[in-house]
Amino acid sequence: MIQLTTAAKLENAIAKARTVKTRVRVNAFGSYTVTNKQTGATYTVTCEKRDGKRFAHCSCEAGKRGRACYHLAAVLGVHIQLATEQASH
């Protein structure tokens, strides 16, 4: 579980997300499946808000160790957009 605090912490993951071709599928709000188009590997990323803090978790090896991975970075863009849409309804 990674607490999402500053964008700076995710900088490397975001940079990698730009170089790896991924596909993000929305399972439900806060639950996503990320596919690496090159390897076909899929991982599950979940995002949640607890006590006003945002947390994210990825099922890949880096994610299990609490590191911000590019799957998470790829999902965040989608998640923030959905969250913004929800807030405006």
Q: Is 56 in the site for Zn ion (CB under 5 A)?
A: no
**What is the arrangement of strands in the sheet containing 2-4, beginning at the earlier edge strand?**
2-4, 53-58, 42-50, 31-36, 22-28
Residues 1, 62: Cα–Cα separation, whole Å: 11
List the one residue from 2, 10, 13, 58 that touches Zn ion (CB under 5 A): 58
Q: Is 79 in the site for Zn ion (CB under 5 A)?
A: no
List the one residue from 71, 74, 76, 79 that touches Zn ion (CB under 5 A): 71
Q: Is 63 in the site for Zn ion (CB under 5 A)?
A: yes
**Distance from the Cα of residue 80 to its chain's centroid:** 10
- Judged by the rule CB under 5 A, the positions of this chain that interact with Zn ion are 43, 58, 60, 63, 69, 71
